[in-house]
Each structure stands twice: as C-alpha cells, then as structure tokens.
Amino acid sequence: MKNFKISILLMIIIVSQPVLSQIAKDGKKAACCVMSDKGAEKENCTQKGSMSPDIPLLNQYGESVNFQDLIKEKVVALNFIFTSCKTICPPMGANFAQLKKIMSKRVENSELVMLTISIDPTTDTPERLLEWSNKFEAGSGWTLLTGEKKNVNTVLKELEVYTALKEEHAPIILLGKGGENKWIRANGLAEPKELAKTLNTFFDSPTLGQNNIKEKKEEAFNRDENYFTNVELINQHGDTMRLYTDLMKDKVVIINPFFSECKGVCPLMSSNLEKIQEYLGDRLGNDVHIISMTVDYKTDQEEVLKTYAEAYNARDGWYFVTGKKENIEFALKKLGKNVTTREGHDSIFLIGNLNTKLWKKVNGLASVNDIIAQVDSVVNDQID
C-alpha cells in the first residue's frame, strides 16, 4: 500500500516535470519563436531579441565566428552531427552535400547558408570537422561549427535540438530564415530534392509559411480557394470531401501526412493527434478539423482508413483522407506533402487558420503540450 502511494507520488512528480519545464521555457520567450510564423511576431520575440546575440563559435578552419552573424538575413539549412557518429551522420553529411549541390546557385549568391553544428564540441576540433566534411567533397560554402561546449550547447538549446546524450540525437535538419527563428524541422535523411523544395519556399513567397500582410487579406481569401481548389478526396467513412470547401473553409485545420502501414513516426503522430482531439472537445468538427492525409493511397482505401481511425478513436471532425491517385497526389502537393516514396513523408503538422491566414509548421513528434500550445495560438488568432 505504502509502495503504491509512493509510486503515485513519483508519477505526479514525473508527470508534472514537463509541464514545469514548459513554463520555464515560455518564461524565456524562446520556445515561442521556434516553428511559429505569425505567432513569433505577435509575442514580440522575432529577430535578435529572442536569441543570445553573441555566441562565439569556431568554424572548421579554426576561425572565430558569431552564430548570429552567420545566419543574419539569410535562408539557412542547419544540421547536427558529431564526427565519431557512424550510423546516421555520414548519410546526413552526404544528404547535406547533395542539398548544397541542388541549391548551388543560392549558395554561390550568398542567399543560402549551409551550416553544420557539432553536438560533441569537446571532441570535435575544427581540424576534425574539416577532415569529416572533406569526405563529402562538397567544396566551399559549407560551414561546420564547433566551439566551447557551453556556447555550442546554448545554440543547441535555443534551437531546441539539444540532447544530453549525443548518441540519442535524431537526424534533424532545420530549414529557415536567419534572424527570424522560425525553423522547419525536417528529417535529415529525407531526400535532398524534398528538402530543397522546402528551402525554396523561403525564397518564393508562396501562401504557406508566410506572414499575411493586412492589405492583401481580402484578395488572399479568394486566393485560398484558388490555391487549394475543391479537388475531391474520400474520407474513412467513404464520403467524398472537397479539399477547400468541405475540409478547410472557415476552419482551423491540423494537417499531417501518414500511411497506415508506417510503423515509425506515424503511430506517434496519430497518438498525439488523439490527445489533441481530446483537448479540443466540442471544437473539433465545429471550428477545427484534423486532416490526416495518406501518402499511400494504394493500400489506404476507405476500409483500411476506417480501421485505422477506430484504433485512435477518431471522432467526427478528424478525417483520414485518400482518393484517386491524381487527386490525393494533387492535394498533397498543394500542402507541400508530396513524396516519391511513402517512407519519405515528413512528420510536420501544418496548422492553419483559414480565417486569419495564420499558418504554423509544428513538429508532430514534439510533446503534446507543446503542440497544443501552438494549436491554441492558431485557434485564438484574430484578424487585426
């Protein structure tokens, strides 16, 4: 009995831990910047204010550099490695070198900076980083960073990629615009072609991933329907749903890619969504839609989706959608979720408010509390 009490107590402590750390993070006003678009601006933590301005690091030639200076006003691709990492880092390095090749024009014009930060700065001397990067024969325009452990850790923490054990670091790549601290987290092992597409969105100014500009709001309204179109999809009940009018119009939407046979990240995303569904309560279906789009329309026909949806207790308002090959592929493409192989999909939730045009990209594998905070900020967004 006594044991039981203790373990309950323990559980409470353990459970409350992340909540506490969440508060601490928000207090610092750093977390709000990451992954958010408009939110960042609203909470007044864009630009340098949010990140320590001077973090001295060393590049692979042993020269002192300042992290903020490196990324200021540039589009940035940023990944994390350590040189004694054998399994995932060489592939990440090769991918990064390829990404650089695809984006070579941008790199040459200094519009895009390619950065790699060592997560084992104690071991990774500049010399080691240089040797490591030489293997990939990527040429100039790729900066690898190390430095004093505390400085490197500051950067890693502010980018929210810090792990205590270096062996546990996930193959993450951050894509974003320097100085704005809005990072998209992507899988560092994803196809460089796909990563390049995402990077290009920072240059091309499409609807997604952009702050809305007040004057253009009216026009943007119609643009959405034009952009997303009413392509027909099919949900888990076999109903036909039009992408814009039935699924998105006037709603807040949470969109993720998945496929039913995916045993890696999908179950994690789906169980996060199940908890978000619970949190949303009545708002789901009325104000909010969750849209899980399959990247494997062949396997995921309505019957399969139905079973899958039931496994996560999906209620009305959480739609698992498939469709004719050309339709679902079109829809995925419009949302930036198209892939060449089903395994290549990302684990990013697109959260959008169709009324205010605020869109955020949120790591679907983050802790539920973090995601809910982001959902809230989109739901509560107002036209100003």
Partner 1 sequence: MKKKLLSYLFFLFFVCTAAKKTTVSRIDQELTYQQKIGKRIYTKGIGGTNIKIMAEMSGVQVPATIMPCVNCHRADGRGNPEGGIVPSNITWAELTKSYGGERLDSQKRPPYTKQSLRKVITTGIDPAGNHLNTAMPKYNMSMEDINNLIEYIKILDSDKDAGLTNSRIELGIVLPEKRTTAYNKNSTVKKLVNAYCMAINSTGGIYNRNIIPHFFEVDELQNKQDFFMILGFNDKRITENIKHKNIPTLLSFSSKKASKGLQNPYTFYTYPSLTAQSLSLVDFSKQKKIAKKGTKATILYYNDPIRKEIAEEIAKYYFKHFKKHPNAISITSENIIENVKNAQIQSNEPIYFIGPSGLGNQLLLTLDNLNKSAYVLIPGSLSGIDIFTMPETFKDKVFIGYPTWISEQTNEGLQAYEELAKNYNLDHKWRRDQLDMLSMLFTTEECLKRIGRNLSRDKFIKTMENFFEYSNGISPSITYNLNKRVGNSNVYIIGFDTAEKKMELITTVHSKEQ
Contact pick of 48, 193, 217, 333 for partner 1 (by CB under 8 A) = 193
Angle at 77 between CA 122 and CA 45, to 5 degrees: 90
318-321 β-sheet, strand order: 318-321, 288-294, 252-258, 348-353, 358-363
Backbone angles phi, psi at 56, to 5 degrees: -75, 130
Among 242, 344, 369, 376, binds partner 1 (CB under 8 A): 344
The residues, any chain, with a CB within 8 Å of residue 318's CB and separated by 6 or more, are 273, 277, 284, 289, 290, 292, 309, 312
Task: Name the one range near partner 1 by CB under 8 A: 33-41, 119-127, 233-241, 352-360.
Answer: 119-127
Q: Which of 87, 140, 205, 341 binds ligand HEC (CB under 6 A)?
A: 87
Q: Pick one of 39, 121, 147, 171: the residue that binds partner 1 (CB under 8 A).
A: 171
If one asks whether residue 139 binds ligand HEC (CB under 6 A), the answer comes out as no
Nearest distance from residue 92's CB to ligand HEC, in Å? 10
Judged by CB under 6 A, the number of residues near ligand HEC is: 2
Closest CA to 158 of 23, 22, 31: 31
**Residue 191 touches partner 1, criterion: CB under 8 A:** yes
Structure tokens at 215: 């004057």
Q: Which is nearer to partner 1, 39 or 336 (CB)?
A: 336
C-alpha–C-alpha distance, residues 191 and 214, integer Å: 36
Report if residue 167 touches ligand HEC, rule: CB under 6 A: no
Closest approach, Cβ 184 to partner 1, in A, equals: 17
The Cα–Cα gap between 87 and 102 comes to 24
Partner in contact with 54, chosen from ligand HEC, partner 1, none, beta carbon below 5 to 8 Å by kind? none
Write out the binding residues for partner 1, residues 282-321 only, by CB under 8 A. Answer: none
Q: Stretches 126-134, 154-162, 175-183, 205-213: which one binds partner 1 (CB under 8 A)?
A: 126-134
Cβ of residue 189: shortest distance to ligand HEC, in angstroms?
9
Under the binding rule (CB under 8 A), the answer on residue 192 touching partner 1 is yes
Residue 285 in contact with residue 241, Cβ under 8 Å? no
Taking the complex as a whole, the smallest distance from the CB of residue 372 to partner 1 amounts, in Å, to: 24
Q: Which of 167, 84, 170 is nearest to 124 (CA)?
A: 84
According to DSSP, residue 2 is labeled H
Q: Which of 21, 66, 84, 299 binds partner 1 (CB under 8 A)?
A: 84
Convert residues 90-109 into a mask of x (bound to ligand HEC by CB under 6 A) and - (unbound): -x------------------
Q: How far is the CB of 160 from partner 1 (least distance, A)?
A: 16
Paired with 288 in beta bridges are 252, 284
Contacts of 186 (CB under 8 A, 6+ apart): 172, 173, 174, 175, 194, 195, 198, 346, 348
Kind and range of the H or E run holding 238:
none
- Residue 88 — φ and ψ, nearest 5°? -100, -20
- CA pair distance 161, 26, nearest whole angstrom: 16
Q: What are phi and psi of 209, to 5 degrees?
A: 75, 15
Distance CA 304, CA 348 (A): 23
Give 56 or 91: the residue with its C-beta nearer to ligand HEC.
91
Q: Which is nearer to partner 1, 178 or 192 (CB)?
A: 192
Footprint of partner 1 (CB under 8 A): 84-88, 90-91, 93-95, 97-98, 123, 125, 127-128, 131, 135-136, 167-171, 189-193, 263-264, 340-341, 343-344
Footprint of ligand HEC (CB under 6 A): 87, 91
